[in-house]
Structure 1
Amino acid sequence: MTNTPPALESDARDWMAALLRLDGAYSENTLRGYRADFRTFEAWCNANGHTALPAAPETVAAFLGAAPSTASTSTLRRRLASIRKVHRLFKFGNPAEDEDVVIALRRAQRTRHRRPGQALGLTSDLRDRLIDACPADLSGLRDRALISIGYDTLCRRSELVAFRLEDLTWLADGGMLALIRRAKNDPFGDGREGYVSMRSAGLLDEWLRAAGIDEGWLFRRVVFDGVGPNPLHPHSVGRILKQRAAAAGTSAETVDALSGHSMRVGAAQDMMAAGMGLLPIMKTGGWKSVNVVARYVQNADLLRVSANRW
């Protein structure tokens, strides 16, 4: 039992309203995650006779212990962070700091030996196969440019579809600088620049001319009567890669393993195989964590990497 005043318990039930205080301070993806994770925790508490808010440390520890084996360690950490955030909004004590919860999380981590899943890297050879498989119609011209620029800039899918013509600066070598205005790990919009090769700039120019785009969004939906005004949805990037990979005659396993993250992963792997260190890769891809980059390049072709050592 908790010694929470009745009025506070009444307020605590409306955690959804409390999360509204975070609007504008966090990305919508983060807020969506908080809601989904705490809803999962609350449902488990209701089904098992526990109080979700404020939660006793023993309750949180039991929740972690009851998680299905299919729940990854990162999922459990994220849910714990959501529980912590909601409690902080109500100025309740943080149950996640309790030793029982720390032990429960460590136990869960030790029983989950799966390596983090990773999209198949779209390395340069696979990139070229997909580009060659794109037809010369509007969709094909768009997809050629999208795949090539996504590889060059190591953009996340959300960053790639957010490019506008105004974000591009042409360079003397025929390439471009592309301003990535906001990223997942850049909540305040400091931005970074990515280099677009001369080849990619040429593919983009072909698409822009065919689509009649002279301002606004670069990568737009192609509709039955031409090009629409709206940008592609981030989820479309993965579907495009799978569609073009299938057209290129790649294996079903390859098609299935591709995602909107594949260009970012593959370009990082190619940079590692070319002998570049982690710091240049981090700068190019806008990473702030060495551990994250190391995980991205862990599947780089060892033969290609080793060839640069001798």
Structure 2
Amino acid sequence: MNNLSERSRTAIASDCARYEAWCGAMGLTPIPASADQVQAWLIDCVNEGPKLATINRFVYSIGQAHAMAGTISPTKMPTWKSHWLRIRSKLQALGLTQTTKREELNADNIRAILASIGDSLRELRDAALITVAFDTLCKPAELVAVCLEQISVLSDGSGQLWLPQQPDLQVSLDGVRRLSPDTIHRVRRWCGAMNIQSGPLFLAIGGRPKRKRADSAMAVEPEAVARIFRQRATAAGLEGGEFNSEVHHPKR
């Protein structure tokens, strides 16, 4: 879990605490768990009303917990497919499979996308953009406005992104967001390949001419961000219906 963002580690810890509490109430040992046990927990969770994206996150968290314990996760076993079909059927029966614009990106999806990305300029840019988006939950308009000067690198290899208030982009969020060491690595690779030393981070590459921004750089347009996510998700073999290509902030 060392390469995960702070937000991801917090979510996994919260999910595992919820699972362990359920196991305690049922008199069960959390790890190692059988596929039947995890299915029973998730079915109980579904009855409480969370949607598909949240249940997917629970599955990922259980897998991470088993990996840290050095044992195979039941969600990786061949028998899990039939268990997952039962869980999904329950979600469908309750009308909980619809995706919404407020659902967060799933960490498994992000890793699948990054694994499918190569070393071309466009791919290096997209990898940096996707990891920054995942760590910070920035909206498209915020992402394309990020400048290299807003990023600082910490002694442990992680980083921070300072988000100023930008009324011209109709966003009101400001403050500091943490960037994982992996994200900093990908940002550095992209900047090195493109020789970016200052100004907008996510520059447009080829294609149709882009509008010149006030800061005089040719940045990616906000409407292109969702397209980049869709294209990378498709290339990674992800189902479009289960992957939300836009990045949105949860309620604060």
Provide TM-score, normalisation by structure 1: 0.43
Question: Is the 8 Å Cα contact of residues 158 and 234 (structure 1) preserved in structure 2?
Answer: yes
Cα deviation code 1:60-96 (max 9, x no counterpart): xxxxxxxxxxxxxxxxxxxxxxxxxxxxxxxxxxxxx
- One-letter amino acid matched to 2:235: A
Matches within 5 A, 1:24-43: none
Give the superposition deviation at 1:190. Answer: 7.9
RMSD between aligned alpha carbons? 2.9
Match of 1:172, SS state, is: coil
Match of 2:197, SS state, is: coil
Partner of 1:232: 220
Partner of 2:113: 130
User: How far apart are the structure 2 equivalents of 1:144 and 1:252?
Assistant: 18
Partner of 1:143: 126
Partner of 1:246: 234
Give the superposition deviation at 1:155. Answer: 1.1
CA distance 1:187–1:158, change in 2 (3 Å): closer
Matched, 1:259 2:245: yes
Question: Is the 8 Å Cα contact of residues 165 and 172 (structure 2) preserved in structure 1?
Answer: yes
User: How far apart are the structure 2 equivalents of 1:204 and 1:243?
Assistant: 20
User: How far apart are the structure 2 equivalents of 1:189 and 1:119?
Assistant: 17
User: How far apart are the structure 2 equivalents of 1:183 and 1:129?
Assistant: 32
Give % identity: 27
Question: Is the 8 Å Cα contact of residues 241 and 259 (structure 1) preserved in structure 2?
Answer: yes
User: How far apart are the structure 2 equivalents of 1:120 and 1:190?
Assistant: 18
CA distance 1:122–1:214, change in 2 (3 Å): same
User: How far apart are the structure 2 equivalents of 1:188 and 1:231?
Assistant: 18
CA distance 1:230–1:251, change in 2 (3 Å): same
Matched, 1:204 2:187: yes
User: How far apart are the structure 2 equivalents of 1:188 and 1:253?
Assistant: 27
Q: Select the structure of larger CA radius of gyration.
A: 1
- One-letter amino acid matched to 2:223: H
Match of residue 214, structure 1, among 167, 173, 197: 197
Give the superposition deviation at 1:235. Answer: 1.1
Match of residue 160, structure 1, among 108, 125, 143: 143
Provide TM-score, normalisation by structure 2: 0.52
- One-letter amino acid matched to 1:244: R
**What 5-or-longer segments of structure 1 have no aligned partner?**
1-114, 269-291, 294-310
User: How far apart are the structure 2 equivalents of 1:241 and 1:190?
Assistant: 22
Match of 1:207, SS state, is: helix
Give the superposition deviation at 1:130. Answer: 1.2
Question: Is the 8 Å Cα contact of residues 170 and 177 (structure 1) preserved in structure 2?
Answer: yes
Matches within 5 A, 1:9-28: none
Question: Is the 8 Å Cα contact of residues 203 and 219 (structure 2) preserved in structure 1?
Answer: yes
Question: Is the 8 Å Cα contact of residues 99 and 244 (structure 2) preserved in structure 1?
Answer: no
Question: Is the 8 Å Cα contact of residues 157 and 260 (structure 1) preserved in structure 2?
Answer: yes
Match of 1:169, SS state, is: strand
Question: Is the 8 Å Cα contact of residues 235 and 260 (structure 1) preserved in structure 2?
Answer: no
- One-letter amino acid matched to 1:243: Q
Question: Is the 8 Å Cα contact of residues 168 and 176 (structure 1) preserved in structure 2?
Answer: yes
Question: Is the 8 Å Cα contact of residues 181 and 190 (structure 1) preserved in structure 2?
Answer: yes
Question: Is the 8 Å Cα contact of residues 221 and 231 (structure 1) preserved in structure 2?
Answer: yes
Partner of 1:49: none
CA distance 1:253–1:217, change in 2 (3 Å): same
User: How far apart are the structure 1 equivalents of 2:157 and 2:171?
Assistant: 31
Matches within 5 A, 1:1-80: none
Question: Is the 8 Å Cα contact of residues 131 and 143 (structure 1) preserved in structure 2?
Answer: no
- One-letter amino acid matched to 2:118: P
